[in-house]
Amino acid sequence: MTQVGKSISVYRFVRSLPRWVLLFAALLPAYVDASASAAELVVYSGRKESAIKPVVELFERETGIKVALKIGKTSGLANAILQERGRPQADIFIATEAGVCEILARQEVLEPYASPGARAMPAEHKSSRGLWTGISGRARVIIYNKNLVKGGDIPNSILDLADAKWKGKIAIAGTRERTTLSWLSALVQVMGEAKAKAYIDRLMANGLKVLPDNSDVWRGVGSGEFAVGLTNSPNYHLAVQANLPVGVVYPDQGPRGMGILVNPNAVAIVKGAKNLDQAKRFVDFLLSKPAQDLLVRHAFEIPLLPGVDPGAVRPLSGFKALPINQERLAELEDRTMTLFPGL
Amino acid sequence: MINTTTGVRPIESGGLRVLRRPRIMDPGPAAIAGTALIILLTVSPLATLATSVLAAGANALSIVTQGPVLLLIARTGLLAALATLWAIILGLPPAWILTRTDLPGRRVLLAVAVLPLAIPPYIGALTYITLLGPVGWVNTTAQALGAGGPIANIYGLWGGIFVLGLFTYPYILLMAGSALQGSDPALEEAARAVGLGSIATFRRVTLPLLRPSLLAGALLVFLYALSDFGAVSLLRVDTFTTEIFHQLNTRFDQRNAAVLSGVLVLITAGVLIAQRATLGRRSYVQRRSGVRPPTVYPLGRWKLPALCCTYIVLGGSVFLPVALLLYQTGSLMTLLQTLVSGYHFLWNSLWTATVAATAASGLGLFVAYLAQRRQGPVGLLLTSATQLGYAVPGTVLGLSLILLYNAYLPWVYGTAAMVIIGYLLRFLPQAVQGSTAALVQVDAHLEEAARSLGRSAWQALREVTLPLIRPGIAAGWMLVFISSMKELAATLLLRPAGFDTLPVRIWIASIEVDYAGAAATSLILIAITAVPLFLMTRRDATLSRIE
């Protein structure tokens, strides 16, 4: 009896549901208007939320400027900026890799701005036309699983990875990760097309595992799925933070070694930005010491500006870097993709 | 008109019906305006796509004839076909067992069995990577026990098929289940009376009657698998959508992406046309007799196997993922904290999905009504236009909407309305199908009768047809709501800055390697989405008991 009673009340509730839903839907437009907040600065960021949010919050506190933050994949946000070119929505674009900024620069959707704070920035980490500025960097390193790789086996050069003992044990993110793409372009630039191609072909023949993204690489190496991974320096620290048995090598450091590619994270102002003054203040702020400290420390990035404490991370001065310019890397991109179709 | 002894009538009946075709609705201004609105809404992104393809010219079309792309088409087709087959294998037996047998606790089990719809396949994929990945629990345990190498590998095509089928089978279960529940016992009794055995009866009577709903369910699974991005990319299967993503996000080649999306649209259109052709003239739609509930078969000694079979399916698709998410969440405190700190993400998800589902139901009813009650090209055109929303991957849809709305309706752009439009376009087909399925069961002559009694067309619709098709509309509403709650790809692009939904939060947490946060948010999403699903299955049960 009670069962039936309950059923009927459930039934009545279900029957009245459409009416409530309609009422709810009718009232919503009012809410939509209220939610379209009047942000004074719109930031599209490809950086992780945990890395960029503290900086944005500090900026809001110090300047009183309200920021609307949109987190996404760097390339997805770049595509959105391209689509929005007729009527830009974003004021600031933060990219995890400078090549994207070069692509946007070529499409003429960026606004030049030379922040005073960028003066001390090394030339290879900022646009020569002032269209973007590096904010922090990451080095292209080798990581390895400490349980699987020991002592003398630890590779010192990326060239060592073509050795048969690594057959099927190396992981890399494909060119869908843009840091891999610029690394490959850098190889083409430094080694020459033929040598770079021969090297990658040997890696492929050695069973190189091409994964969708970098987090697959460091998690895979950390868990023992792979012995060695080619990835970016912050990922080593993330793996350590996650208590994974991972070691790191900054390869090719000998007197004749070619050195390591450093990819900058970059900030750019979107052309036609509605809040240009606030955007400029934001760029200045990102290059200021308090913001740099937050940016670098939270995400294990390499400081690109002198005088910023690198914390646990090896500083720029601590290894031999490849002197290469981002515009050149961007020019090489198309060629690189046709050279390495399997990646 | 309705053959009362069978409770079945042909969709396209000839004879008298053709002579006295009822004209229910005059093409009033409302109908014209509605048609124009829907065509604009649905066709405009496709037109954007087509413009990009045309702008690319013959040169870009060459990408389609390249070997790797043909291989991708083949692989994606295989993935979708086998995932559909797997979903039928998983969904059809429980559909029959849970609706037509005396299995203990079948009502609760039915409510649980549709729960995988609340679990986004990308979350399902993560579960099975944890379990069956190269260093997943199964492999590490096996190796600890002395196995030489990994004994299972979830990555690759087979893993993709496994996961996609496992989390989409409820489409089959729901469609076939409601057909089985609504079927008239007289037909099967008649088959028995002429001496057919149980299996022969199932094959020759039940299965043919099930065919339209089975096909509708299979279509949903197939099209889902065709355009899925999240699960396949996690499981490292290269498909058409991952290639489109690659063209967009590595090469920044929107033309190639548009050409590839165009191919996907064509494939989907082909599949939809094939479905229409298969249903053809010979198909029948069952009316709910309302007189007698369908025959319930006693299971007898088959009770235990049937129970096991049901629990295995539920275990893999519901219990395991939820248990794993609970484990990853760690503690109830984490769950509560996530809920408290993320209540506005929940709210964002809830209200956008609600508005999208309501709008989709309204438009869907309109489209279905026009297509069903007024013969001619307009209905067909409308149905096709709305269904093509299936074919465009979320990312591509998102980008074309950005281009369109930012240029032509800038006051809409940058608001949450964009997210709603994204949901609406992607999931309108589900609402159309819900309304169509309900509408074909209501004879147009009922409305005619109402009109002959002096009611206006609108009154006839409101007083006669609407009450009869309300369950179908409600089912469509809930499907759109659930799908919208889970949507990620288009939302990522379309949301205004600072406006996150639950799936966006899951995505952010997972790239931040915040497993506990991702798991807790996933649990919240699943719990919320489960409510309408539960109501939907309860509602059937309650209704039949009251009647």
B523 phi/psi in degrees, rounded to 5: -60, -40
In sequence order, the β-bridge partners of residue A67 are A41
CA dist A78 and A94 (Å) reads 9
Dihedral sign for Cα atoms in the order B17, B21, B22, B25 = positive
Examine the pLDDT at B546 and tell me if it is beyond 60: no
| pLDDT more than 70, % of chain B | 88
In sequence order, the β-bridge partners of residue A145 are A246
| Residue B77 DSSP class | H
Nearest CB partner across the interface for B358, out of A22, A178, A215: A22
CA dist A321 and A123 (Å) reads 13
| pLDDT more than 70, % of chain A | 89
Picking from B375, B365, B543, the residue whose alpha carbon sits closest to that of residue B469 is B365
Contacts of B134 in chain A (CB under 8 A): 220, 225
- Strands A262-270 and A246-249 come out as unpaired
Helix (H) or strand (E) holding B213: helix B207-227
Structure tokens at B182: 């609504």
What distances in angstroms separate CA B150 from CA B14, B142, B153, B215, one per listed residue?
61, 8, 7, 38
Segment B476-494 shows an average pLDDT of 89
Contacting A residues, span 219-238, partner chain B, CB-CB under 8 Å? 220, 223-225, 238
- CA dihedral (A59, A63, A69, A73) in degrees, to 10, reads -40
- CA dihedral (B36, B40, B41, B43) in degrees, to 10, reads 120
Q: Name, in order, each residue with C-beta under 8 angstroms of B534's C-beta and a sequence gap of 6 or more.
A: B111
Task: Given the cut 0.90, state whether the ipTM is greater than it.
Answer: no
The answer to whether A63 and A251 have CB atoms below 8 angstroms apart is no
pLDDT of res. B521: 93
Residue with tokens 């295989």: B78
| Residue A264 DSSP class | E
CA A65-A68-A69 angle, 5° bins: 125
A176 and B245: CB-CB below 8 Å? yes
B496 and A68: CB-CB below 8 Å? yes
Q: Does A82 touch chain B (CB under 8 A)?
A: yes
Q: Does A298 touch chain B (CB under 8 A)?
A: no
pLDDT, greater one: B180 or A265: A265
The residue in chain B having the minimum alpha-carbon distance to the alpha carbon of residue A97 is: B250
B395 and A181: CB-CB below 8 Å? no
**Interior/surface letters B22-36, b for 16+ CB within 10 angstroms, e for the rest:** bebbeeeeebeebbe
Contacts of A220 in chain B (CB under 8 A): 134-135
Dihedral sign for Cα atoms in the order B159, B425, B354, A14 = negative
Structure tokens at B443: 């004879």
- Strands A170-173 and A209-211 come out as parallel
Structure tokens at A195: 């040598």
CA dist B223 and B444 (Å) reads 31
Picking from B150, B118, B122, the residue whose alpha carbon sits closest to that of residue B135 is B150
Q: Name, in order, each residue with C-beta under 8 angstroms of A258's C-beta and a sequence gap of 6 or more.
A: A190, A191, A252, A322
**What SS3 state is found at A92?**
strand
A44 and B497: CB-CB below 8 Å? yes
Examine the pLDDT at B264 and tell me if it is beyond 70: yes
pLDDT of res. B481: 93
**What SS3 state is found at A93?**
strand
Contacts of B403 in chain A (CB under 8 A): 83
pLDDT band at B12 (very low <50, low <70, confident <90, very high): very low
The answer to whether A42 and A91 have CB atoms below 8 angstroms apart is yes
Nearest CB partner across the interface for A50, out of B359, B492, B512: B512
Helices A2-35 and B343-373, packing angle to 10 deg: 100
B414 and A17: CB-CB below 8 Å? no
Examine the pLDDT at B48 and tell me if it is beyond 70: yes
pLDDT band at A21 (very low <50, low <70, confident <90, very high): low
pLDDT of res. B25: 47
Contacts of B546 in chain A (CB under 8 A): 7-8, 11
**DSSP result, B279-318:** HTTT-EEEPP-SSSPPP-B--GGGHHHHHHHHHHHHIIII
Segment B353-363 shows an average pLDDT of 93
pLDDT, tens digit (0-9, with 9 covering 90-100), for A269-296: 999 999 999 999 999 999 999 999 988 8
A32 and B416: CB-CB below 8 Å? yes
Structure tokens at B497: 């800055």
Helices B67-100 and B29-65, packing angle to 10 deg: 130
Examine the pLDDT at B163 and tell me if it is beyond 90: yes
The residue in chain A having the minimum alpha-carbon distance to the alpha carbon of residue B509 is: A49
| Residue B463 DSSP class | I
Nearest CB partner across the interface for B354, out of A21, A39, A71: A21
pLDDT, tens digit (0-9, with 9 covering 90-100), for B167-212: 999 989 888 887 777 666 777 778 777 877 777 877 787 778 788 7
pLDDT band at A1 (very low <50, low <70, confident <90, very high): very low
Contacts of B245 in chain A (CB under 8 A): 176
Contacts of A73 in chain B (CB under 8 A): 249, 492
The residue in chain A having the minimum alpha-carbon distance to the alpha carbon of residue B245 is: A176
Average pLDDT taken over every residue of chain B: 81
A45 phi/psi in degrees, rounded to 5: -125, 130
Examine the pLDDT at B152 and tell me if it is beyond 50: yes
Q: Does A337 touch chain B (CB under 8 A)?
A: yes
**What SS3 state is found at A249?**
strand
B498 and A37: CB-CB below 8 Å? yes
pLDDT of res. A158: 93
pLDDT, greater one: B215 or B447: B215
Examine the pLDDT at A27 and tell me if it is beyond 70: no
Contacts of B357 in chain A (CB under 8 A): 21
DSSP alpha helices (H): ranges in chain A? 2-35, 49-63, 74-83, 98-106, 178-191, 193-205, 214-223, 233-241, 276-286, 289-299, 326-339
- CA dihedral (B113, B118, B120, B125) in degrees, to 10, reads -30
- Candidates B492, B507, B521, B540: best to mutate against A (most CBs of A within 10 A) is B492
Structure tokens at B11: 């969709």
pLDDT of res. B538: 65
Q: Name the region of B72 (left: φ>0; alpha: ψ -120 to 50; beta: rest).
A: alpha
Contacts of A89 in chain B (CB under 8 A): 406, 413-414, 497
CA dist B438 and A58 (Å) reads 56
Picking from A46, A45, A48, A44, the residue whose alpha carbon sits closest to that of residue A298 is A48
| Residue B119 DSSP class | S
Nearest CA-CA distance, residue B274 and chain A, Å: 34
Nearest CA-CA distance, residue B39 and chain A, Å: 23
Examine the pLDDT at B22 and tell me if it is beyond 60: no
Q: Name, in order, each residue with C-beta under 8 angstroms of B102's C-beta and a sequence gap of 6 or more.
A: B296, B297, B298, B299
Nearest CB partner across the interface for B251, out of A37, A238, A337: A337
pLDDT, tens digit (0-9, with 9 covering 90-100), for A141-174: 999 999 999 888 899 999 999 988 899 999 999 8
Segment B103-107 shows an average pLDDT of 83
A10 and B542: CB-CB below 8 Å? yes
B246 and A176: CB-CB below 8 Å? yes
Q: Does A50 touch chain B (CB under 8 A)?
A: yes
* Number of Cβ atoms within 10 Å of the Cβ of A299: 19
Segment B465-483 shows an average pLDDT of 83
**What SS3 state is found at B253?**
coil
